[in-house]
Amino acid sequence: MPALDTGTLSPDRCLDTNTELCRLPDPDIQVIRDGPARAAQALILAHGAGQGSDSPFLQWFSVELARARLPGGLSIWRFDFPYMAMAKTTNRKRPPDRATILEAAWGQAISEVRRQSPRLKRLFIGGKSMGGRIASMIADHSGVDGLVCLGYPFHPPGQPEKLRTTHLATLNTPALICQGERDAFGSRPESSGWRLADVIKFCWLADGDHNFKPRIKSGWTEEQNRVTAREAILGFVGDLPRKPG
């Protein structure tokens, strides 16, 4: 079982997984790749509202997934939404962009990954919290093969009546949601009351919070939950049939 790394990536580690940085036509957006450039499968992960593409959470998943030996190879891509890129440039926190801008940034990232992936056969999108939610909103009309959400924000914390699931009831894109069992944005006990499409599958993480971290008294560790999520994602990507056409 690999050790949990909650720090930043070292230059050597970046080199080991072929991490590269490229720029999209919009100067406010950057895309980072881990894994082979000529992979047959790619997964794009967008960040949550409060942390960017360089968050320890996304870095860990990007690097560890890219190390997998899937047939044809798997590359993992990350990018910053415009507001986050501006926050990094100015060193001042900014609120998330409105949904239309977030969706447009997603579309641009998808187009660029396709352009830079000459052997791409299957494309998956998703991300952490807000990033995964926006991905789920564009998945059906983006021509992607699957959706991977890491801690989906089903509702604001403490407000389970304010569900954000309307579009998930009619989702056609196969989806995997990795969710902590006690996530304040949507817990396992609450899930029986959600109306979701049959294409959505869950990987519940033992006693995990929104970042998959369990309580010490549970006997589980954050490392175990991350590894469980990683293996579920690899199984989802590896087993899902390619779309016809």
pLDDT band at 220 (very low <50, low <70, confident <90, very high): very high
Residue 224 region by backbone torsions, left for phi larger than 0, else alpha for psi between -120 and 50, else beta = alpha
Instruction: Output the pLDDT for position 207.
Output: 99
Choose among 108, 74, 21, 27: nearest CA to 236.
74
Instruction: Output the pLDDT for position 7.
Output: 31
Instruction: Output the pLDDT for position 234.
Output: 98
CA distance 121 to 72: 9
Instruction: Supply 37's token pair.
Output: 């450039």
Distance of CA 20 to the CA centre of its chain: 18
Asked if residues 114 and 120 have their Cβ atoms less than 8 Å apart, the reply is: yes
Taking only the tens place, the pLDDT of each residue in 29-67 is 678 999 998 999 999 999 999 999 999 999 999 999 999
Average pLDDT over every residue of 198-216 = 99
Average pLDDT over every residue of 135-144 = 98
Instruction: Output the pLDDT for position 129.
Output: 99
Structural domains in the chain plus CATH codes: 11-239 (3.40.50.1820)
- Tokens 């940034």, residue? 105
Instruction: Output the pLDDT for position 29.
Output: 65
CA distance 43 to 105: 16
Kindly list the strands in the beta sheet with 122-128, ordered across the sheet, starting from the edge strand earlier in the chain: 20-23, 30-34, 74-79, 41-46, 122-128, 146-150, 175-180, 200-205
Asked if residues 17 and 48 have their Cβ atoms less than 8 Å apart, the reply is: no
Percentage of the chain beyond pLDDT 70 is 87
pLDDT band at 240 (very low <50, low <70, confident <90, very high): confident
